[in-house]
Structure 1
Amino acid sequence: MQYIYEAEIAIAAAKQAASLCESVRHSLEFASVDKPDRSPVTIADFAAQAVICHQLKKAFPEDAIVAEESAALLYKSPAQLAKVTELVQALISDATPEQVTAWIDFGQGKVEERFWTLDPIDGTKGFLRGDQYAIAIALIESGEVKLGVMACPAFKEGCLFVGIRGQGTRRISLKTGESQTIRVSVGNCLAESVETSHGDLDRQRSIAQEIGITSRLPMDSQAKYGAIASGHAALYMRLPWVENPYYRENIWDHAAGAIIVEEAGGRVSDMNGDPLNFSIAAQLIENRGIVASNRAIHEAVLNAIIQTNK
């Protein structure tokens, strides 16, 4: 079977990053800083990206990596870099600050025929609050996601989702290592972002009610995709605001989650029903909005979106 070795490497890297992130989250004190776009980033984001990129590049030196973070802020803050290096050294004992920044910046690659995309902590605000977050890694070839690995330490007992194209989706316990195949199910729950700025919340709720979905599951991060894949939710939407029609999603925010839902029997598209196109840039520039579902309700959701466009 294809992509088994890639999955082994990505799973190992995600587990290491999850362990690192949890150690930071359970420490007595840690803080975030704001990036130029005003989104938060922590020492755990940087350290997790360094560890993951290091592992991917060691196993697949020819593969490009497109990741969320860069080391730019760390070059300006030796104290922060020292903290990040210390975290990485807990897993890679001989890591130096110079290596750590280089590993982080492996993630500044470009979209190619074959490349990885990753978000070291998707849902940093949830991570900071002690809620849901995800460590998301995906392999893309010819514009199609072939492998998605997503560690969700706060989901249920703590788990890892693995979706491989044509081979289904598994959920692996981060505590026991127990693995089981999962499938979407008929449900009556909308998974929605905790952050109200992540899409047109009122419109999304109206559409869900239109097709008979009345309960809601607020969650940070791509863990929402895991909720759909494992049958805890039936629908997730991220519809753009009318005031910001040109906004496009980042590929690392959806690639791993998308294949995890699809291989569990669900469907993921943009708001027009088109497949997500990961072959062009770090943003989904050909797609507008996101709809992920248990497949059974997908067409009804798309039709309801069309009606709200009129």
Structure 2
Amino acid sequence: MPAEYSEELALALRVVHAASVLTKSVLRSLQNSVSAETKADDSPVTIADFAAQAIIISALHAVYPADAFLGEESADQLREDEGLADRVWQLVQQAQISDVQHVQQRENGHASLIFPATKEEMLDAIDRGTNAQLKGRVWVMDPVDGTATFMTGNQYAVCLCLLVDGVQQVAAIGCPNLRLDPKNPVNLKVHEELVDETGFGVLLSAIRDEGAHVRSILSHGLGEPSKLDFRSNAGGNDDKDLDFIESTLGKTSLSQAEHKTVAEALGAKWPGTVIWSQQMKYIALTLGATDVMLRLPLDKSRYTHVWDHAGGQLLFTEVGGIIKDINGGSIDFSHGRRILGDKNYGMIATQPEVFDKVNEAVKAVLARRT
């Protein structure tokens, strides 16, 4: 008997595949020449964001018209800049042609995804992602998580998660630059520079309480799924072996000095793995490439966005990972676009066998605050 939400997952896999191939194609067309200084309203990375959000929402809305959507982008910029809108529309049309060709090559009876038929429909699809309420069924997405590293040809993620009354039920996250053999996803390293130069990376997925899987992203579809076994993916059990994953040093408002103090209190090198994309951090944890992720804000006024965490957290917990806020609470996705510090103050995400000792170290470090 198919698992609940199996149909939603099947569609999520298809749309994340399409968006992953689209974004990787944009990246390759640039030949990795775009830099952070070139990012502007009409930059190629912005075009990839808009186009990917448009095709994801359009395809999902066609099948689930009563569902709501939450994405990072709105179409305001496109409505004010016809040239920018035209460039995004060209990408959407190219993605539609590619999907039709892929369906014709397959023999599995899949119909083509429903993409916007006009530029105006594209704009309307993007704007469906401006939902502010997370009640009922809501598809949360981040078409390009890790904008800065996308622009330099490093790691980024194409993220989609179905929330039902604020609870993560389905996750599909494409990692188009992640070099990984899905048949042997153990003892690997996740690094900004370890890029899949010839392929389209991998896609990780999960249904709540059904485990997590990884597949190759192919130009015409997806490879066979491999189930992720936490026991084979788990990192080291000794404190000295703990790998703390961190954002680019100095590029975050989180308290990296306290992150370092926690790691050193446990005898671990800091930082262990450095990855910019927040969702790619969850991917690294899920694959057992790292052991601990801390998010220690300086105060409760700091917030983070739902699309930076929804989906990635489900993947990690489905392989046995533990994610709590600093006070031991579960992360609440039901309060709108932001995860607020007064609801969930910070986060601790670890492999299960080390959660208690990391939690104790965090509390000891925070107790020193004046």
Q: What range is the shorter-chain TM-score in?
A: over 0.9
Q: CA deviation at 1:51?
A: 0.7
The corresponding residue for 1:246 is 301
Asked if structure 2 preserves the Cα contact closer than 8 Å seen for 1:116 and 1:139, the reply is yes
1:192 is displaced (CA, Å) by 1.3
Q: Percent identity?
A: 32
Cα deviations across residues 92-129 of structure 1 (Å, max 9, x unaligned)? 25732211111111101231122111111111111011
Alignment counterpart, residue 209 of structure 1, candidates 243, 261, 264: 264
2:19 to 17, 20, 27: 17
Higher strand share: 1
* Matches of 1:134 and 1:266, distance apart in 2: 20
CA drift of 1:297 comes to: 1.3
Aligned to 1:236: 293
1:108 aligned to 108, 122, 130, which one?
130
Q: Which residue of 2 aligns with 1:267?
A: 322
Kindly state the Cα deviation for residue 151 of structure 1 after the two structures are TM-superposed.
0.4
Q: Which amino acid aligns with 1:191?
A: I
**TM superposition shift of 1:198:** 5.1
Instruction: Describe the shift of the 1:32–1:295 C-alpha distance in structure 2 as closer, same or farther (beyond 3 A).
Output: same
Give the Cα–Cα distance (whole angstroms) in 2 for the partners of residues 134 and 198 of structure 1: 21
1:287-302 matched pairs, under 5 angstroms: 287-302=344-359
Query: Alpha carbons of 1:56 and 1:198: their partners in 2 closer, same or farther (altered >3 Å)?
Result: farther
Partners of 1:232 and 1:7 in 2: CA distance: 25
Partner-residue secondary structure (3-state), 2:149: helix
Partner residue of 1:71 out of 75, 89, 93 = 75
- Cα deviation, 1:252-304, whole Å, max 9, x if unaligned, reads 10011100000011111222221000112111121121222112111222221
Instruction: Determine which of 246, 252, 266 is the counterpart of 1:192.
Output: 246
8 Å CA contact 1:113, 1:279 repeated in 2? no
Deviation at 1:209, TM superposition (A): 2.5
Task: Give the TM-score, by structure 1 length.
Answer: 0.92
State TM-score, norm by structure 2: 0.78
Is 1:283 paired with 2:338? yes
- The Cα RMSD (Å) is 1.9
The amino acid across from 2:168 in the alignment is V
The residue identity in structure 1 corresponding to 2:202 is: C
Tell me the secondary structure at the aligned position of residue 26 of structure 1: helix
Give the secondary structure class of the aligned counterpart of 1:7: helix
Structure 2: distance between partners of 1:58 and 1:212: 52
C-alpha distance in 2 between matches for 1:156 and 1:208: 27
Amino acid at match of 1:172: R
* 1:88 equivalenced with 2:92 (yes/no): yes
The aligned residue for residue 218 of structure 1 is 274
Give the corresponding residue for 2:217: 174
Secondary structure of 1:73's partner?
A: helix
1:69-89 deviation digits (Å, cap 9, x = unpaired): 111111121111111000000
Task: Name which one, 1 or 2, has greater alpha-carbon Rg.
Answer: 2
Aligned residues: 304
